[in-house]
Amino acid sequence: MKDTKSFSIVVVLLFFSIGVFASVEQVNIAKANKAYSAGSYTDAANLYQKVVDAGYASPELFYNMGNTCYKLNDYARAILWYERARRLDPGNEDINFNLNVANTKISDKIEPLPELFYKRWFNSLVLFLPSDTWAWMSVFLFISGILCFILYLVSRVLVLRKIGFWSAIGLFLVFIVAFTFAWVGYRFSESANEAIVFTPTITVKSSPDEKSTDLFVLHEGAKVKLLDNISGWYEIRIANGSVGWLPIKALEKI
C-alpha cells in the first residue's frame, strides 16, 4: 500500500511539473507575441528561442520565429525558420508566401532543374497536407471501410448490402491513396537533409580541402542539399544540380 501511494504521488508530481512547464512556455509565447506586436523584435526572438530550446516544435512557432528574424533583416535565419515551419506544414500558404518573399532578399537566385510534370503534380499533392494529417485520414478511411464491409455482411436488405459493398471498395481505394501520401510525406521529411548557408560569401570547393579547386560561390541564405560529410566538410548540391564541398561550420541544418 505504501508503494502504491508513493507511486501515485510521483505520478501527480510528474503531471504537475509537466503542466507548470507547459504554462511557462505558453507565457513566453504570449510575451513574445506581445513584444513582436510592439516592435521589440529582438526581445520577441529571444523569447521564441527560449520556447524552441525547451523542446517545443510547431509550424506556428517556427513561422513566428521566421517573421521575427525577417523584421530584424536577418534573412538567412528567417529562411531557416520558414523552411522548418514548411517541413511541418508544407501546404500552409502563409509560410510558403513569406518564404518566397524572404528568398527575394538574398543574393543567390538559383534556377532549379526542370521537373517532370507528373512528378511535380504528385509532390504537390503529397505536400498539400502534413504527413500526420494524411495518416489520420487513412486511419479514418480504413475504419469507415471496415464498417461498410460489416454492413454488407450483416444486412439482409439488398440495397444496403450494395451500398455497404461498393462504399467499402471505394473507401479502401481512397485509404490506399491517403496511406501512400502519408508514407511518402513521412519519408520526404525524414530524408530531406538540407541546410542554409550562414556565411556572407563562401566558395564551394571541388573536394573537402581548402586547397582544392574553386567551383562556384554561394551567399548567406542559400539552401543546399546535404549529400555526404567527411572530416568537417559537407558535400552539397544546389537546386540547379551543381555539386561541391562546404565546411560544416558554414551551414545550419534545416
Total structural domains within the chain: 3
**Last residue within a domain, chosen from 175, 191, 207:** 191
Do both 67 and 141 map to the same domain?
no
Could you tell me where the DSSP H helices lie in 54-157?
Answer: 59-71, 75-88, 93-103, 117-126, 131-154
Do both 218 and 187 map to the same domain?
no
Residue 32: its pLDDT value, please? Answer: 94
Of 80, 25, 85, 83, residue with least CA distance to 52: 25
pLDDT digits (tens, 9 = 90+) for 37-70: 999 999 999 999 999 999 888 999 999 999 999 9
Q: Print the domain residue range for 220.
A: 194-253
Residue 22: its pLDDT value, please? Answer: 57
Do both 71 and 12 map to the same domain?
yes
Q: Which residues pair with 237 in a beta bridge?
A: 225, 243
Sequence length of the chain is 254
CB 200 within 8 A of CB 73: no
Between CA 87 and CA 121 the distance in angstroms is 18
**Last residue within a domain, chosen from 103, 131, 165:** 103
Residue 124: its pLDDT value, please? Answer: 81
pTM above 0.75, yes or no: no
Residue 28 maps to a domain: yes
Residue 4: its pLDDT value, please? Answer: 42
Domain CATH for 28: 1.25.40.10
Domain CATH for 213: 2.30.30.40
**Last residue within a domain, chosen from 103, 127, 151:** 103
What is the mean pLDDT of each successive set of 10 residues along the chain, which is 254 residues long? Answer: 45 46 79 94 95 91 96 97 91 92 92 74 81 92 95 91 94 95 79 88 94 95 93 93 95 93
